[in-house]
Amino acid sequence: MSTSKRNPAITISALALVVLSMASCGGDPNSPGVEYMPDMYRSPAVEAYVDYGQDPYHFSEELAQGQRNTQSAKLPPVGTIAFAADASKAQFNMPYTYPNTVEGYEAAGLELKNPIAMTEATVEQGKVIYAKFCQHCHGEKGEGDGAVVTNGNYPQPPSYTAALKDLPEGKIFHSLVYGKNLAMGSHASQLNKEERWLVTRYVQYLQNGGKMQREMAAVVPATPAAAPATN
Amino acid sequence: MVVPTKMLGMPLVARISERSPGLFNISLSVILFLFASVAFAQPDGEKLFKGNCASCHKPDKDMTGPALKGAVARWEGKGDIHAWVKNSSAYLKTGNPYATELFNKWNKSVMTAQALSDEEIDAILAYADAYVPPVPKGPDPTTVTPEGEGSNWPWLVVIALLLLVVGLSLSGVKRSLSNAVREAEGKEPEPDMSFGQRLRNWAWHNKAAASILGLFIVVFLILKMWDAAWVIGVYGGDEVPHYKPEQPILFNHTLHAGKADKGNLAINCQYCHSSAEKSKHAGIPSTNVCMNCHSAVNEGRTPEGTKEIAKIYAAVGWDGKAYTGKPEPVKWVKVHNLPDHAYFNHQQHVSVGKLECQECHGPIDEKMDVAEQWAPLTMGWCIDCHNTKDVKMAGNGYYDEIMARLEETDMGHAELKKYLDDEKISVKELGGWECAKCHY
């Protein structure tokens, strides 16, 4: 038993410090915290979006060094074609052959045809894709008045009901694959070929002013607004 | 004025002259005057620019094509800008040296021929020359979200401790006063004891109160520890501060995905996280998806934003016009860390369950400049939703199949009736609480 007189204020201040430091430990937004029993937290099998170079649990330092900065999102090997369980969808896994040139664009406009029929169901499916991938720039009705244009001061895309009214389906598809000009990038990494054809159907539906008829792509060989085929 | 049908096809001037030939001369002069003031008035340059040019040209900056500001001055005395705009490839064939120079400078890209009149082209170029960049609309991203309210209890503890210090010093004052009184009364002063000695002294003389107080303190501490044990390894939900790591590029979710009427860009979550409906992972967009827009947007709403956009260019290897072919990975920090022993699949929840992203990820489009872990991701949280949420059965191929199988047999019918006791079918009733659904 100590007989020395201690100022209680010192004890209390020390306690307060401990409490505060504990509180700050738990509140660091940059810390994912201490792993409690990490054995089952980390997958020894390779999972997406994990940098195995940072995994201290399953690899030796030498191996970890080799794994460091390996990308987890990769392109399929060149020249491979994905397997389609449904044979009717196999055509959508075939490569796109038109080159990313003015000539390729014109040729696609003349030759390329949509393998998906224009029905209420496909227009509806296309609308869902359009709302996710196109609407923020091209606008709900395709008039080029999406929020990115109006709020973001983005270059305005031409309207489907005016300048692009007669754009053939092949050119719509080509622009989805390679992008158009600087303002529209390629959407090939986000939409597979089937989805691109579906959304092309919905764009045509908008070109027709919200109607399904006017299968115009076959009738209009080249648009007046289009660039000349060769120069 | 009712116009006779046979006149409808005629030009206005002809119609008027036919109806009242005597008035013709006066009308003609009036009409010519109107024509001069109305029809030759400036066509709307801004509207024409946005409709015909804006997808490739900016007024004040180079994009796919050159900035239109100063184009008239640049062309002065070098050629016919009108013919160039109307059909650039035809004009190139005339061999104009400045046109050829421009064509080569801009990677030999052919400008779409424009069906515009000379006046309209003049109006567009006048608009571009007079263009002043607008002040960006929308909320200032730096003030969108107030700092999340941190938990208050450390401060409460500090205040309580301060009060204790004040109380103890007051008791010291009281003791010295009472000692002074005792001294004045000629008694011995109270023995000078430390805080601990007095506490022990008090506890010895008030055993019942001390035991009860001690019991309370022990129970309180145990309960606190019990609560603390529940949130070990939990970095979201209501109980703990959310895990909100700083990312290598300070991407602002609210600005990109927030509502359009609040000045945000209203880009669908799945535009960038496009694998959410196709794969186990929602996916972190690779930089080519950023570049779908940011090849044309190189300035943020704030100087800080512009710096962050420059980081995308560094990562994707973009020199402002073309790819350099030297990309660097962006080391995004994973926010939602589900342990390996629990299986979760985005596709099931987005495509079949038709859940909105915000149901699990919180108001990421409204008040999360920085993405954070909103849900606790505990097993209790998972299975609570599987128990209470109504499954959207209608028009869903996956559940159509389940319903068809249930309705095949009498036993299935009885089961279905049991499920519908509370007028809804939950995931639990369809087997969502079986261990192997998530742990295998």
B 37-96 near A (Cβ less than 8 A): 50-52, 54-58, 63-64, 89, 92
List the single residue in A15, A148, A228 with the smallest CB-CB distance to B267.
Answer: A148
Residues of A in contact with B168 (CB under 8 A): 8-9
Q: Does B124 lie in the same domain as B51?
A: yes
pLDDT over 90, % of chain A: 40
> Would you call B194 and A187 a contact, using CB atoms and an 8 Å cutoff?
no
- Does B150 reach chain A within 8 Å, measured CB to CB? yes
Residues B168-180, mean pLDDT to the nearest whole number: 83
Query: Which chain B positions have a beta carbon within 8 Å of A131's beta carbon?
Result: 268
Question: Do the Cβ atoms of B55 and A156 come within 8 Å?
Answer: yes
Q: Which residue has the higher pLDDT, B418 or B143?
A: B418
Q: Is B410 on the interface with A (CB under 8 A)?
A: no
Distance from CA of A166 to the nearest CA of B (A): 15
User: How many domains does chain B contain in total?
Assistant: 3
pLDDT digits (tens, 9 = 90+) for A21-73: 554 445 678 877 777 666 677 776 777 777 666 655 555 667 666 666 665 66
Whether residue B71 is found in the same domain as residue B118: yes
Last residue of a domain, one of B94, B109, B129: B129
Q: Do residues A217 and A114 lie in contact, with contact meaning Cβ atoms separated by under 8 Å?
A: yes
The per-residue pLDDT of chain B, averaged, comes to 81
Rounded distance between C-alpha atoms, residue B327 and residue A108, angstroms = 31
How far is B235 from B8, CA to CA, in rounded Å?
75
B181-193 average pLDDT score: 77
Q: CB-based contact (8 Å) between B163 and chain A?
A: no
> Residue B4 is encoded by which pair of tokens?
């006779």
Q: Which of B150, B154, B265 sits opposite A147 (nearest CB)?
A: B265
Give the gap in angstroms from C-alpha B184 to the nearest C-alpha of chain A.
26
Among candidates A42, A190, A227 on the partner chain, residue whose Cβ is nearest the Cβ of B112: A227
Strand partners, B390: B426
- Cβ-Cβ pairs closer than 8 A, A with B, add up to 195
Residues of B in contact with A42 (CB under 8 A): 340
- Reported as a single tens digit per residue, the pLDDT across B69-82 is 778 778 777 778 88
- The per-residue pLDDT for A12 is 67
Which of A43, A71, A227 faces B329 most closely, judged by CB atoms?
A: A71
Which of B58, B234, B267 to mutate against chain A (most A CBs within 10 Å)?
B267
pTM of the predicted structure, to 2 decimals: 0.72
**Averaged confidence pLDDT in chain A:** 79
Is B112–A226 a contact, with Cβ atoms under 8 angstroms apart?
Answer: yes
Best of A20, A70, A161, A181 to disrupt the B interface (most B CBs within 10 Å) is: A181
Instruction: Identify the band that residue A152 occupies on the pLDDT scale cut at 50, 70 and 90.
Output: confident
Report H helices in B320-396.
346-347, 357-361, 364-367, 379-388
pLDDT at B208: 92
- CB < 8 Å & 24+ apart, contacts of B85-92: B85/B111, B85/B114, B85/B116, B85/B121, B86/B113, B86/B114, B86/B115, B86/B116, B86/B121, B87/B113, B87/B114, B88/B113, B89/A227, B89/A228, B89/A231, B89/B113, B92/A231
CB contact under 8 A, A190 and B151: no
Total residue length of chain B? 440
Burial label, B12 (beta-carbon count in 10 A; 0-12, 13-18, 19+) = exposed
**Same domain membership, residue B17 and residue B72:** no
Instruction: Give the model confidence (pLDDT) of B284-328 as tens digits.
Output: 898 999 999 998 888 888 899 999 999 999 999 888 778 888 888
Which CATH number is B111's domain given?
Answer: 1.10.760.10
Last residue of a domain, one of B95, B129, B163: B129
**d(Cα A57, Cα A55) in Å, to the nearest integer?**
6
CA dihedral over B301, B305, B310, B312, signed as positive or negative: negative
Residue pointed to by tokens 């939990």: B234
Cα–Cα distance, A152 to A132 (Å, whole number): 18
Can you read off the two tokens belonging to residue A184? 């529209």
Q: Is residue B176 part of a domain?
A: no
> Chain A contacts of B263, Cβ < 8 Å?
151
Kindly state the average pLDDT of the residues B35-41.
48
Those residues whose C-beta lies under 8 Å from the C-beta of residue A142, and which sit 6 or more positions away, are: A159, A160, A161, A203, A206, A207
Longest CA pairwise span in chain A (Å): 105
- Asked if B270 reaches chain A (Cβ–Cβ under 8 Å), the answer is yes
> pLDDT value at position B345?
94
B34: left (phi over 0), alpha (psi -120 to 50) or beta: alpha
Summarised one tens digit per residue, pLDDT across range B46-61 is 777 777 777 778 777 7
**Residue B143, min C-alpha distance to chain A (Å):** 18
Please report, for chain A, the start and end positions of each structural domain, with discontinuous segments joined by +. Answer: 47-73, 99-207
Given a cut of 50, whether residue B142 has pLDDT beyond it is no
Distance CA B356, CA A4 (A): 65
| CATH class of the domain comprising A99-207 | mainly alpha
Q: Is residue B401 part of a domain?
A: no
Instruction: Tell me, yes or no, whether B52 and B124 share the same domain.
Output: yes
Structure tokens at B177: 């006063």
Same domain membership, residue B83 and residue B23 = no
| Among the listed residues B341, B54, B114, the one whose alpha carbon sits nearest the alpha carbon of residue A152 | B54
Q: What's the rounded Cα separation, in Å, for the pair B189 and B179?
A: 5
Q: Is the dihedral of CA B52, B54, B60, B62 positive or negative?
A: negative
**Range name among A71-75, B185-189, B397-401 with the lowest pLDDT average:** A71-75
In this complex, is the C-beta atom of B232 within 8 Å of any C-beta atom belonging to chain A? yes
Identify all chain B residues contacting A190, using CB atoms and an 8 Å cutoff.
Answer: 271, 274, 289
What share of chain A has pLDDT > 70, as a percent?
Answer: 69
How many C-beta atoms surround the C-beta of residue B437 within 10 A? 15
Any residues with CB less than 8 A from the CB of A93 and at least 6 apart, and which? A81, A82, A83, A84, A193
What's the rounded Cα separation, in Å, for the pair A64 and A229?
54
Q: Which residues of A touch B271 (CB under 8 A)?
A: 132-133, 136, 190
> What was the pLDDT predicted at A223?
45
Task: Place B85 in a pLDDT band, splitting at 50, 70 and 90.
Answer: confident
Least Cα distance to A44 among A34, A57, A53 occurs for: A57
Residue A182 to residue B268, Cβ atoms within 8 A? no
Query: Taking CB atoms and an 8 Å cutoff, what residues of chain B touch A181?
Result: 55-56, 63-64
Domain hosting B14: range is 5-39
pLDDT at A53: 63
**Cβ contact, residue pair A228, B113, below 8 Å:** yes
CA–CA–CA angle B165, B167, B172 (5° rounding): 95
Minimal Cβ distance to A12: which of B161, B243, B270 = B161
Q: How far is B396 from chain A (nearest CA, A)?
A: 14
Query: Looking at the predicted structure, is the pLDDT value of residue B361 above 90?
Result: yes
Minimum CA–CA partner of B301 in chain A? A152
Cβ within 8 Å, pair A224-B115: yes
Asked, for residue B409, whether it belongs to a domain, the answer is: no
User: B196, B200, B179: which is closest to B188 by C-alpha?
Assistant: B179
| DSSP output for A54-108 | G-TTTS-HHHHHHHTT--SS-PPPTT-----SSGGGGGGGSPP-S-SSHHHHHHH
- Chain B: closest CA distance from residue A133 (Å): 5
Mean of the pLDDT values across residues B7-18? Answer: 46
Nearest beta carbon to residue B51 from set A43, A163, A227: A163
Same domain, B57 and B125: yes
Residues 6+ apart with CB under 8 A from A43: A50, B340
* pLDDT at residue number A105: 93
For residue B426, what are its two tokens?
A: 């939950």
Residue B263 lies in a domain: no
